[in-house]
Amino acid sequence: MTNAEAIGPLSTDVLVIGGGPAGTWAAIKAAQAGVDVVLADKGYTGASGATASVGTGIWYVDDVPEQREAAMASREALGGHLAEREWMARVLDETHARMHELGEVQRYPFPVDVNGQPIRNDLQGPEYMRRQRTRVQRLGVRILDPTPTPLRRRRGGPMPGCGRAMHALSITFVRALGLRSPVVTA
Ligand SMILES: Cc1cc2nc3c(=O)[nH]c(=O)nc-3n(C[C@H](O)[C@H](O)[C@H](O)COP(=O)(O)OP(=O)(O)OC[C@H]3O[C@@H](n4cnc5c(N)ncnc54)[C@H](O)[C@@H]3O)c2cc1C
């Protein structure tokens, strides 16, 4: 029996499906916006998904125009010049903001370089996701796990629940929606 079956019917303003980086950040931002949030994961939020068990490289670039320009130019070349600059800039903005938030609010212990500056382009998944779960809970989000959610593909639409997008990109998407969608698939 899953958590949801044990609890019975629920109502909420926002249902986030998937408790990886994308889902936990979406739940945090929705809860901060003042709405009621339920987060459902088929496994255990904080331990499920690819990030929770590995070291994760993060596309973090300091907020210095020349460094951002160089980073985007490098990725453009790697992607055969198919990438859109606007999206790359949004990913860089979101990643920059979320990594600072992770250090300041979730108190993630970033290692420091020889100058004492935090190194934010790499995360230890278990530590990261454990802190994400704690933050989500502190914001009053109701976590349901284990709760596998049946997902259907809409005609012509993206496959929900794939859970492989960069989490910063997903947060950007949630923001672009203005949290009008009641369901967020992470
Ligand atoms: C080996 C490997 C190495 C990687 N290295 C990097 C890296 O260095 N840097 C990087 O940016 N990315 C890396 N990735 C990609 C990585 O998966 C994503 O960046 C990140 O985990 C995506 O976060 P997510 O929240 O979208 O998905 P996930 O972390 O996969 O989380 C999805 C969550 O949704 C839950 N879920 C899925 N379906 C359902 C359902 N139907 N109902 C309820 N819950 C559901 C899962 O249990 C899981 O907790 C790597 C992936 C792999 C496999």
Q: Give the tokens for residue 30.
A: 């929705």
Distance from the CA of 166 to the center of ligand 1, in angstroms?
9
Residue pLDDT tens, the chain, 186 long: 566 566 778 899 999 999 999 999 999 999 999 999 999 999 999 999 999 999 999 999 999 999 999 999 999 988 899 999 999 999 999 999 999 999 999 999 999 999 999 999 999 999 999 999 999 999 999 999 988 877 655 555 544 444 443 344 344 334 433 434 445 555
DSSP 112: B
Q: Can the peptide bond before residue 111 be classed as cis, meaning omega within 30 degrees of 0?
A: no
Between CA 7 and CA 4 the distance in angstroms is 5
Between CA 113 and CA 131 the distance in angstroms is 23
Q: Is the CB of 42 under 6 A from ligand 1?
A: yes
Alpha-helical regions (H) of 33-81: 65-78
Distance from the CA of 114 to the center of ligand 1, in angstroms?
32
Q: What is the pLDDT of residues 111-155, one digit of tens each?
A: 999 999 999 999 999 999 999 999 999 999 999 998 887 765 555
List, in order, residues 6 or more apart from 82 with CB less than 8 Å away: none
Q: Whole-prediction pTM value? A: 0.84
